[in-house]
Amino acid sequence: MIADDNPRLPFLNQVLFAVQKLPDAAVLSHYFAEYAPLPDISLLLTHPDCDGPLVVSAVSVQGGDVVFQPFPADGKPHWRLDCESGEIFYTCDLDEAVGFVEDWLDFCQSTRLIRQDLPLRVAAEDLPPPSAVLLQQLVWPEGTPPDMADWPAGDKAALAADCAAADRERIAEGFPRDKRGNAAKGNAVVLSWYGEPVGHMRRRPALVVRAAAKNTLVFAAEKLIVENQTHCWADERWRWHSGEEWPSESVRNGTAGDEERSAQASAALAEGRFDDALALYGIGWDKYLAQVLHGLPLNMGDAAHCDDWREELVGLMANLAPWRLAKAVLQGKRRPRLLLFSGQRQQRKAGVFLERGGGGLRLAVDYSGSNERLPQSRFLQEGKRFG
């Protein structure tokens, strides 16, 4: 039984009376209850499409610290709103509190679609248009040789030989570009590794080609974390070494001996039938991948990114090379990441991962604080490299 003189009751009723005026209020039900470990009374808003309630509690904020008891104490009264999906929001502004409830209502209504078995495909008009970007010419300024002052003698000799044998024309042709055809400053490709990883960060000596400025490439000797590289050609020396024979198109594409099936997969991808393309190679996917593909939020905090994430995922899937994935996961460690979604500032970020298990390979959307990823040449179609 909630006492009528409970000081939290009138404060919580401000939110209740305001949300009851919302257009979608008809789908809301409410009740007051204890909700451990929160204070003695909370307002619980429920929606038929959500598994749990939105919990509205009253707390006091004093100098940045949240005080549960007593209330309102010496601080400023705040509403604390807790979602089943984990978001927690504090505010002393009634309009902000009601706005959060509106966002929660939108998210609840989207879960009706989320619970359906969504197909992993898009309409042809939603696919990215064929690239008509004119690749800008890249320049190689004359400069000093890569600095290898602290390298072992054997590694110095190997890197110097590789640097001398590097085919600048091949490198420029395959170097990652942005949407305007430029090699953006900071982009880099690892050409070769030397020695073993050293130090607590496990950095390994490498020969790197880096865009020191826009459309300006230079060679560099650096120590890098192997698993954190977006572009790595160390296992594909034909991409950059003049002593390596330029392979056939099927070898470059990774389809040698599998031309017919890979052609079927390419056709399916080009029509937006991503599920058919993956099925040809026995690759599964989780429901969250389809969820993002259909523009549905993973949780309330990510709802603002739905359109951008959908566009990014469509771009990945349209350019994916499913025939490369079995080999890629054997080369990678743990769960290599294929795509990091944009607009995230938290430590654990959402992305697309390649998983292996008893049921085989599958693509999954998950959150991770790791910076480990799979080099793009191991999972994208030939010629589809992004900066």
pLDDT digits (tens, 9 = 90+) for 184-241: 888 999 999 999 888 888 899 999 999 999 999 999 999 999 999 999 999 999 999 9
- Provide CB contacts within 8 A for 325, sequence distance 6+: 281, 283, 354, 361, 379
- Give the pLDDT score at 132: 67
Taking the C-alpha atoms of residue 362 and residue 355, their distance in angstroms, rounded to an integer, is 5
Taking the C-alpha atoms of residue 111 and residue 367, their distance in angstroms, rounded to an integer, is 19
- Give the pLDDT score at 1: 46
Q: In 3-state terms, what secondary structure has residue 79?
A: strand
Q: In this structure, what token pair is assigned to residue 115?
A: 């619970």
* Mean pLDDT per 10-residue interval, the chain, length 387 residues: 78 94 85 86 90 91 86 91 86 95 85 78 89 83 75 87 94 91 92 89 92 93 93 96 95 94 97 97 94 89 90 97 88 81 92 87 94 93 70
Burial class (CB within 10 angstroms; exposed 0-12, middle 13-18, buried 19+) of 85? middle
- Give the pLDDT score at 129: 83
Q: How far is the CA of 261 from the CAs of 105, 266, 271, 322, 355, in angstroms?
A: 45, 9, 16, 10, 22
* Cα-to-chain-centroid distance, residue 185: 22
- Give the pLDDT score at 56: 96
- Provide CB contacts within 8 A for 46, sequence distance 6+: 28, 29, 30, 31, 53, 54
* Structural element, H or E, at residue 82: strand 76-82
**Domain boundaries along the sequence of the chain:** 8-114, 153-246, 250-378
Q: How far is the CA of 52 from the CAs of 7, 16, 58, 97, in angstroms?
A: 26, 18, 19, 18
- Give the pLDDT score at 2: 57
